[in-house]
Chains A and B, each alone.
Chain A
């Protein structure tokens, strides 16, 4: 990890309330892994006091991208920034997804499950899975599924990017305005009951109730499952003990340092 000033290369609105920001940093490009995050200073001193954590959305040759939803003052002020400005970043932080398990396992089929803006880090993961193991999408017995759930149409993101990678994308919306109507957990259950492939790993990122339900499904199907968790953060590096998640082994684990990616079996849901 480093604290650095990164130049904003672009900050584009990709849907109402959703922005994609491209940041120039050879260091972050070289050192970031899918599932890691950065802590961004949204305003200098005062109003928006703490840094805001955002997942690494894409790892590029000369920088990274973050994809974020405007939900409050921090993300709002980020959305007002323009190309050419510099922002203060600490990163990359956290552990990231354990991709080897999928990439080198006997059954190289994976399902990525996103809730809303939770798709952000899964794009970096999908790119890495595809690049590190060409087989994953090109063999008849191996496949990459991405299941995206959201409340409504405008909140379903990155579908085309993922399709271009060769992933099979399934969309669910709660109001039925895009894809199938329902929760993404239904999508996962029906996928599991219909596919002929053996799933090696489920990777999930989204709101807590969704992760909990997915962890349950994974458990009862005997599939290994990695979840990317969220908690309010202060330091983002493991010193303040401010971002606990209850661990099955007793006590707490810190989302920023022990996570944000956990084996779903580690969490006391």
Chain B
């Protein structure tokens, strides 16, 4: 018997496959059985509504895509009033994702969501490359101190499981990973998108309205694997691997590099059934290789 269960902080997941923030929504409930997922992660919300970036917001790249959505969302109140009630019917753990300009906003979001009931964990999006954060001209996850302060502020405001979502747009992922751990994060998730561009040579303009966007999909997987391994080796908390997971083999690669769970992002757009197929694929792989628990596979990379 294969046990796909895995633990992320206080969260007990029945399998290690979640859908990544911003790439999944209730609409997919028409195509797949969402309750088969390990957990449901909602799109990142901010305290106040954001209208997002001008179009075009998405484009194809070789083996991937760029997006510059700009965290379009209705804000905390809209989430609690309109988005959360239908999500409460889910039979799997619900993880909310939050982003803010400063520690104060993160605290307010955390308090607002902590008392809402259904939400079991918060993913702290320190790493959306498509928005300007207040006066800062860097992402929180690009700075150890800012990462520490933010996670600490959230930690003081909640007993929910905290997952710090890190950015690949850094020189040394190990330092930021350790800062998040020291500040009290229960787990790390990585990677978010890499900042990139696409150019139309006929118009001599960038393809995206926002000029730059976040690169995702199979193109970023090698970088994500390397970073997951570095984060795994430099911290003791569970790692959630993200970046270009299209099938169960990609998922197993992340787990071998140290991930206790994985998230499926862009693959949802290509094949909405990807997550479900990945769950089945991991199960078969473990059965074939006589691996009883995910724990036994996590970090089992031979070097």
> A residues bordering B, Cβ < 8 Å?
1-3, 41, 45-51, 88, 90, 231-245, 250-252, 257
Chain A contact residues: over half helix, strand or loop, or mixed? Answer: loop
Chain B contact residues: over half helix, strand or loop, or mixed? Answer: loop
Question: What distance in Å separates the Cβ of B4 from its nearest Cβ neighbour in chain A?
Answer: 24
The reply to whether B272 and A243 contact each other, CB–CB distance below 8 Å, is no
The reply to whether A3 and B272 contact each other, CB–CB distance below 8 Å, is yes
* Chain A residue contacts of B60, Cβ below 8 A: 48-50
> B residues bordering A, Cβ < 8 Å?
22-25, 27-28, 30-31, 43, 51-52, 54-65, 67, 69, 72, 217-218, 246, 266, 268-273
Question: What distance in Å separates the Cβ of B136 from its nearest Cβ neighbour in chain A?
Answer: 24
The reply to whether B246 and A234 contact each other, CB–CB distance below 8 Å, is no
Closest B residue, CB atoms, query A251: B51
* Chain B residue contacts of A232, Cβ below 8 A: 55-59
* Chain A residue contacts of B270, Cβ below 8 A: 41, 49-51
The reply to whether B62 and A49 contact each other, CB–CB distance below 8 Å, is yes
Number of A-B residue pairs having CB atoms within 8 Å of each other in the complex: 96
Closest A residue, CB atoms, query B50: A251
The reply to whether A238 and B58 contact each other, CB–CB distance below 8 Å, is no
Provided the pairs A41-B270, A234-B65, A251-B51 are in contact, do residues A244 and B57 lie with their beta carbons within 8 angstroms?
yes
A193 vs B33: C-alpha distance in the bound complex, in angstroms? 55
Closest A residue, CB atoms, query B58: A242
Provided the pairs A232-B56, A233-B58, A251-B51 are in contact, do residues A239 and B31 lie with their beta carbons within 8 angstroms?
no
The reply to whether A240 and B22 contact each other, CB–CB distance below 8 Å, is yes
The one of A49, A50, A245 in contact with B55, judged by C-beta atoms closer than 8 angstroms, is: A245
* Chain B residue contacts of A233, Cβ below 8 A: 58
* Chain B residue contacts of A41, Cβ below 8 A: 270
A51 vs B6: C-alpha distance in the bound complex, in angstroms? 33
The reply to whether A239 and B57 contact each other, CB–CB distance below 8 Å, is no
A145 vs B61: C-alpha distance in the bound complex, in angstroms? 41
The reply to whether B63 and A46 contact each other, CB–CB distance below 8 Å, is yes
The reply to whether A241 and B272 contact each other, CB–CB distance below 8 Å, is no
The one of B28, B54, B65 in contact with A50, judged by C-beta atoms closer than 8 angstroms, is: B65
Question: What distance in Å separates the Cβ of B195 from its nearest Cβ neighbour in chain A?
Answer: 17
